[in-house]
């Protein structure tokens, strides 16, 4: 009986003059307004939309070697048709040049900020996260900052700065939680660890000779620098060829050191040949203090035809990809 009554009440209400009057109160123009942004696509033609690809580009060391104290972004947004400054869809890399006894502020709406000291010495101060004293080869990361970070140099200095601000701008969000603590990696400690693993059995057969930089908060999951950022300190021994590998994250590779000339380089491309090396590769020569981009999904191998080791520090958004189970890192051999 109660169900019948409820049904009758609904039917009567639907036909009531009051409801009909309420419907008439919604302007037709307002109804059209909320519909005008809607789009519909045939699935098979739109499932893989055309998007501007990540280019192979170089951010030369000459940008931070002279001139005024300043920030020099590695901005590839025009090439990728993205509305905000970025070096990859999720990350922005920049050089920070600081003249002796000068100071500069950095500010980013980001969950993670990484700073690698290309040269020089000084300190970085965050009102929220404390003070870091640094020198050449050190790397440190700050979590989300509401205030600016103040960098002061004692000597002529250059810093490689990478953050995930483009990802947050794309999402239209701001961080509300600090996901990790300020973390410092001293150069001496990193080099000692590379030296240790260099002497492990089978080290000469590994695809790369280096250390992944991790964090306490990612120890049981992604084992990455932060929850979004990934970094590797990789040594390329004298006379060595590191075989190709690929991954779905974009690499922003800082050449820490390489012999002058064109004998240390990376070969990259979307395919492998029958011997397992990159087919019809793009060649990117390593220049000390320069950064180059490696597109997602491209195979890339490293080559050193000199008698001195070379070093590279790629920074990627692979923390995010690893967490999503989409990194798909593969090795040619």
At residue 34, the pLDDT reads 87
DSSP string, 77-133: HHHHT-SS--SSSS-EEEEEEE-TT-EEEE----SEEEEEEEE-EEEEEETTTEEEE
b/e string for 49-80 if b means 16 or more Cβ within 10 A?
eeeeebebbebebebbeeeeeebbebbbbeeb
Q: Which residue ranges form the domains of the chain, and what is each CATH number?
A: 58-331 (2.60.120.10)
Separation of alpha carbons 189 and 39, rounded Å = 54
CA separation, residue 14 to residues 1, 6, 28, 31, 214 (Å):
20, 12, 20, 20, 62
pLDDT at residue number 190: 98
Q: Where are the alpha helices (DSSP H) in 15-88?
A: 17-24, 28-35, 43-46, 77-80
Q: What is the pTM of this model?
A: 0.90
Residues 157 and 71: beta-carbon distance below 8 Å: no
Provide the token pair at 229: 């950022």
Task: Write out pLDDT tens, residues 37-46.
Answer: 999 999 999 9
pLDDT average, residue stretch 275-298: 97
Percent above pLDDT 90 for the chain: 86
């Amino acid at each position: 009986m109660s169900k019948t009554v409820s049904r009758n009440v609904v039917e009567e209400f639907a036909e009531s003059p009051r409801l009909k009057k309420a419907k008439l109160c919604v302007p037709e123009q307002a109804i059209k307004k909320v519909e005008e942004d809607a789009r519909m696509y045939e699935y098979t033609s739109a499932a893989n939309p055309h998007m501007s690809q990540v280019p192979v580009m170089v951010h030369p060391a000459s940008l931070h070697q002279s001139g005024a104290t300043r920030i020099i972004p590695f901005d590839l947004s025009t090439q990728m048709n993205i509305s905000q400054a970025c070096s990859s869809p999720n990350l922005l890399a920049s050089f920070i040049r600081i003249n002796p006894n000068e100071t500069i502020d950095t500010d980013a709406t980001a969950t993670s900020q990484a700073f690698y000291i290309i040269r020089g010495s000084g300190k970085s101060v965050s009102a929220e996260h404390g003070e870091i004293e640094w020198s050449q080869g050190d790397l440190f990361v700050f979590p989300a900052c509401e205030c600016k970070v103040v960098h002061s140099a004692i000597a002529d200095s250059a810093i490689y700065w990478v953050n995930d601000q483009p990802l947050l701008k794309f999402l239209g969000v701001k961080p509300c939680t600090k996901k990790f603590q300020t973390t410092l990696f001293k150069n001496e400690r990193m080099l000692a660890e590379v030296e240790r693993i260099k002497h492990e059995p089978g080290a000469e057969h590994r695809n790369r000779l280096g250390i992944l930089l991790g964090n306490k908060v990612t120890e049981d999951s992604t084992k990455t620098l932060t929850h979004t950022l990934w970094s590797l300190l990789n040594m390329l021994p004298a006379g060595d060829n590191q075989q190709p590998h690929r991954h779905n994250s974009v690499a922003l590779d800082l050449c820490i050191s390489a012999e002058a000339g064109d004998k240390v380089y990376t070969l990259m491309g979307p395919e492998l040949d029958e011997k397992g090396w990159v087919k019809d590769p793009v060649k990117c020569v390593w220049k000390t203090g320069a950064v180059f981009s490696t597109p997602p999904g491209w195979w890339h191998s490293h080559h050193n035809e000199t008698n001195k080791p070379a070093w590279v520090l790629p920074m990627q958004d692979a923390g995010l990809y690893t967490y999503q189970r989409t990194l798909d890192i593969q090795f040619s051999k």
